Amino acid sequence: MEKKMSETVTGYIDHVIFRNEDNGYTVMVLKGMEEEQELTCVGTFPAITQGAAIEASGNYTTHPVYGKQFQIASYVEKMPEDALAMERYLGSGAIKGIGAALAARIVRRFGDDTMRIVEEEPERLAEIKGISEKKAMEIAEQMTEKADMRRAMIFLQKYGISLNLGAKIYQKYGQAVYGVLQENPYRLAEDISGVGFRIADEIASRIGIHTDSDYRIRSGMLYTLLQASGEGHIYLPKEELFSRASGLLGVDPSYMEKHLMDMVVDRKLILKETEDGAVVYPTRYYYLELNSARMLCELNILCPEDEEMMEKRINRIEKETGTRLDEMQKQAVAAAASHGLFILTGGPGTGKTTTINAIIRYFEEEGAELRLAAPTGRAAKRMTEATGYEAQTIHRLLELNGMPEEEQEGRAVHFDRNSENPLEADVIIIDEMSMVDIALMHSLLLAVTAGTRLILVGDENQLPSVGPGNVLRDIIRSCCFPVVELKKIFRQASESDIVVNAHKINRGEQVTINNKSRDFFFLKRYDADIIIRVVIALIQEKLPRYVDAKPYEIQVLTPMRKGLLGVERLNQILQRYLNPPDEKKKEKEIGQRLFREGDKVMQVKNNYQLEWEILGRYKIPVDKGVGVFNGDTGIMTEINEFAETATVEFEDGRQAEYSFKQLEELELAYAVTIHKSQGSEYPAVILPILSGPRMLMNRNLLYTAVTRARKCVTVVGSETTFAEMIRNEKQQQRYSSLDRRIRELDESEQKESAIGEKGLF
């Protein structure tokens, strides 16, 4: 495709029609051009003021509603060159404390010499009535600051840095920006959100920094570990780190040993020797695991209860609720009552919910204050429905205030509930623990004081968390805490082939696929396009009536993002059939994605600062807060082209407004990866399965997918691939060591206890 030639316009900003302060998107009117008296311009500007003279590059476009516009790609702000321009600039409000009348008096006094006076003899401004010496110096200071920023932005644009990013960089470094970029542009990757290694590397190459630069190799190693954390790893074996970083940087791994040791000395990395060799942690993740292990051990205290009294109370709960607890469930209630930390685990249909309800009743009888939470809004809603007790997301429980403590990668999140302001509760129950990553676990533990009972519930056979760590599995495998695993499938659950088949898959047993089931179907198809046609027919015609659900509530789950049956292709096709184009529905294209009003969408990254509200009758807000999280699903209800915003209503009733720039955080969600479905439950699940990478097509993934369905699972595809997935136990290895840290602390405590009992001599 032929690239459009950029055009240039010059003029001054007469007035701003619209400005989105969140993303800098601005609609403004430019005047003073030779050919045009007035021109509407649109673009993203970090800081721009009425009256400023600019030279802008971009292209003319025609908006379907607002007509001819000039889309600005880059611009340079020019200082006023004559008395008229100076008066217009000073009177625009660009300089605080100067209005139109005062600007006119200044220019009347100094004429074309006004600019020089402000820059070189600012004290002379005090000659004007209404300007004190102090105010004169403040005006000069503001002019200098604006000139400094203007020069810095021109300098940054030379290296291909966008206006928005340039403003962030200047805000961080100020006049030191020149030295940072010339000496070590890789600092940008560490200091500034939105600048990764690749952007910093591109800037460095434009500046002329060598590929074997010390700064580049260190930054590349940190970036490699950061990428690994995105795959769920807490650390990497040293040799794997060197191999990955070598591929990224294009330098020999032998260069890295020295830099590794320097970074260990600088405490940027932690190097540990294990029985399998040396491993390397980003410092933050090492201490997240270590401190989480310490806090878990501190919570693990015995809370002696009279056994006879416990048994009587459990029997009374059974009688009052009309439920019969089996021996393992009774053990679970007793263990929860007598320990500061307790873990309940088990697969679908094994009575986890019944056991949680019995635990809740047990503590209610004591008059204990309980708090219930789960990692996602959907999981919290399910917990509320199952227990009749209000459950929240963990983020809401901890009172997320939306302000990250560090900006970089949004890594550290500030919760109002922490070690200084702990949760006020006697018992805290957290469900769907397999979804909780190490950072969220650490934040939760900070807010739980010793003496508060913490009960963790989950299925360790589910896929691990999207974020780094393997928290539930590591806690269980440390063998240091009381754990009850429920294995018996109860009668009602045993009538569901979803539950029976999930357990068969988990044990590696083949599933009967004769379609005599009421809730587990297999439609054999061997062509991707035919499979997609069947999926569309199921959603549009067959399943909504069968499971009493709306078409958008039925979820397509697939192992992969790419490929003929990957999320990306499926969503494009499903959107076309399930939410076709309509002149009444507005659309917005962002990169390769097209969003349309009525689309089912999913948040794909945590946004701790996005505001939301829940509207009651007459659209009056009844609740509001901040934070939308990876995996949250909803419907795009409105696209506002003028305000450049889109509104999404999530399943739990929250509504959030996105700027068009923030739409990069959303994806279509007619089909989602099985990983992204963690913690969710749908009336019906459709699994298109044909072929894929062996690492993805495994038992663990299939088990997670099947257990997401409440009423019906339909597999469409190859029975051979389905059988191979059940046989394939191999999962992608996740490097985590919380279990190791727990055991080390536990052994250390036991030694100290033994020394204390025997005495030192």
Question: Could you tell me which residues are annotated as the binding site for ATP?
Answer: 349-353
Give the separation between CA 423 and CA 403, rounded to whole angstroms.
Answer: 19
Q: Which amino acid is at 193?
A: S
Give the separation between CA 596 and CA 640, rounded to whole angstroms.
Answer: 11
CA angle 423/425/431 to nearest 5° reads 85
Q: Which amino acid is at 102?
A: L
Q: Which amino acid is at 755?
A: I
DSSP class of 120? H
Tokens of 697: 């097509």
- Phi/psi of residue 575, nearest 5 degrees: -60, -40
Residue position matching structure tokens 């009525």 = 598
> Residues marked as binding?
349-353
> Nearest-CA neighbor of 571 among 644, 459, 670, 489?
670
Which residues have a Cβ under 8 Å from the Cβ of 278 and sit 6 or more positions away? 237, 238, 271, 272
Q: How does DSSP assign 363-388, residue by residue?
A: HHHTT--EEEEESSHHHHHHHHHHHS
Residue position matching structure tokens 């209404």 = 130
- Please give the torsion angle defined by the CA atoms of residues 670, 674, 677 and 682, in that order, rounded to the nearest 10 degrees: 70
DSSP class of 540? I
Q: What b/e readout covers 208-220, taking b as 16+ CB neighbours within 10 angstroms?
A: ebeeebebbbbbb
Strand partners, 556: 671, 686
Tokens of 252: 């020999």
8 Å CB contact between 69 and 62 = yes
DSSP class of 32? -
DSSP class of 302? B
Residue position matching structure tokens 């602390």 = 745
Tokens of 504: 């068969």
Q: What b/e readout covers 646-675, taking b as 16+ CB neighbours within 10 angstroms?
A: bbbbbebbbbbbbbbbbbebbbbbbbbbbb
Which residues have a Cβ under 8 Å from the Cβ of 499 and sit 6 or more positions away? 348, 349, 489, 493
Q: How many CA atoms lie within 13 A of 722 on its CB side?
A: 26
8 Å CB contact between 325 and 310 = no
Most distant CA atoms of the chain, gap in Å: 97
Give the separation between CA 731 and CA 704, rounded to whole angstroms.
Answer: 13
